[in-house]
């Protein structure tokens, strides 16, 4: 797999260090409040797990699955809910855990969806932010790292379902996805 990676952006150690900081800040901000942590499958699963271990206040952990890129590398803007939350949303403080915010279209849909279901508050924590391609105005309260406008993989983030198991975050070589276009 390493031969398909152009450049390693963040090592496992750097990510773990950053997630510790995010967990500490979140634990501080929600102290004395209820908290429902919502990981967006599948990309955020490794990040959400690491983050959950670093949240030191009581919280619930749930997951949602939404349709995303599939095999292509462009967002369609169409969001479908493939797996909904098991927990009730009404009156809860929700923290959405995302792997990467790109156009922001997925999150803008999810924010509206959870708002309509009566959440008390909704904030976003994202491991990565690809600001260059933003189309929707999204307020990411807790952010790990900014990334360049490249195809990113690793630490849960895939290309055509592969590379999620890389322990680091890297840039996928262009020729890997160009040949499948
Ligand atoms: P958005 O709706 O354009 O913000 O994209 C949201 C989703 O697209 C993310 O949660 C990722 O699953 C996926 N995505 C965006 N950029 C990348 C990337 O560089 N590599 C892999 N997946 C990506
Ligand atoms: Mg995602």
pLDDT digits (tens, 9 = 90+) for 22-69: 999 999 999 999 999 999 999 999 999 999 999 999 999 999 999 865
Output the pLDDT for position 67: 82
Is residue 51 one of the residues assigned to a domain?
yes
Quote the strand ranges of 35-114, DSSP E.
36-41, 60-66, 81-83, 93-101
Q: For ligand 1, pick from 39, 40, 69 the residue to mutate: most ligand atoms within 8 Å of CB.
A: 69
Residue 76 has pLDDT above 70, yes or no: no
- Give the closest residue to 53 by CA, choosing from 8, 98, 22, 94: 22
Is residue 173 one of the residues assigned to a domain?
no
Question: With a 6 A CB cut-off, is 104 part of the ligand 1 pocket?
Answer: yes
Is residue 149 one of the residues assigned to a domain?
no
Output the pLDDT for position 71: 46
> Where is average pLDDT lowest: 98-102, 104-108, 115-119, 142-146?
104-108
Task: Please name which ligand lies nearest the alpha carbon of 151.
Answer: 1
139 is catalytic: no
Of 23-27, 83-87, 88-92, give the range with the top mean pLDDT: 23-27
Query: Whole-model pTM above 0.85?
Result: yes
User: Domain tally for the chain?
Assistant: 1
How far, in Å, is the centroid of ligand 2 from the Cα of 103? Answer: 11
Is residue 7 one of the residues assigned to a domain?
no
Question: With a 6 A CB cut-off, is 155 part of the ligand 1 pocket?
Answer: no
Is residue 150 one of the residues assigned to a domain?
no
Is residue 159 one of the residues assigned to a domain?
no
Task: List the CATH number of the domain containing 83.
Answer: 3.40.50.2020
Give the domain extent around 34.
Answer: 14-144
Contact by Cβ (8 Å): 56, 71 = no
């Amino acid at each position: 797999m390493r031969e398909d990676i152009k450049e390693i952006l963040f090592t496992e150690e750097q990510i773990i260090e950053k997630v510790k900081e995010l967990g500490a800040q979140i634990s501080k901000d929600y102290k004395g409040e209820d908290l429902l942590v919502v990981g967006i499958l599948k990309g955020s699963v490794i990040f959400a797990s690491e983050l959950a271990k670093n949240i030191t206040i009581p919280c619930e952990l749930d997951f949602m699955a939404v349709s995303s890129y599939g095999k292509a590398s462009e967002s369609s803007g169409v969001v479908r809910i493939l797996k909904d939350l098991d927990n009730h949303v009404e009156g809860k403080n929700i923290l959405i855990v995302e792997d990467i915010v790109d156009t922001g279209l997925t999150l803008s849909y999810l924010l509206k969806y959870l708002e309509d279901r009566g959440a008390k508050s909704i904030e976003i924590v994202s491991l990565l932010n690809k600001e260059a391609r933003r189309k929707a105005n999204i307020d990411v309260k807790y952010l790990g790292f900014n990334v360049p406008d490249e195809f990113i993989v690793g630490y849960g983030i895939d290309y055509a379902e592969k590379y999620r198991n890389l322990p680091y975050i890297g840039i996928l070589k262009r020729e890997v996805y160009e040949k499948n276009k």
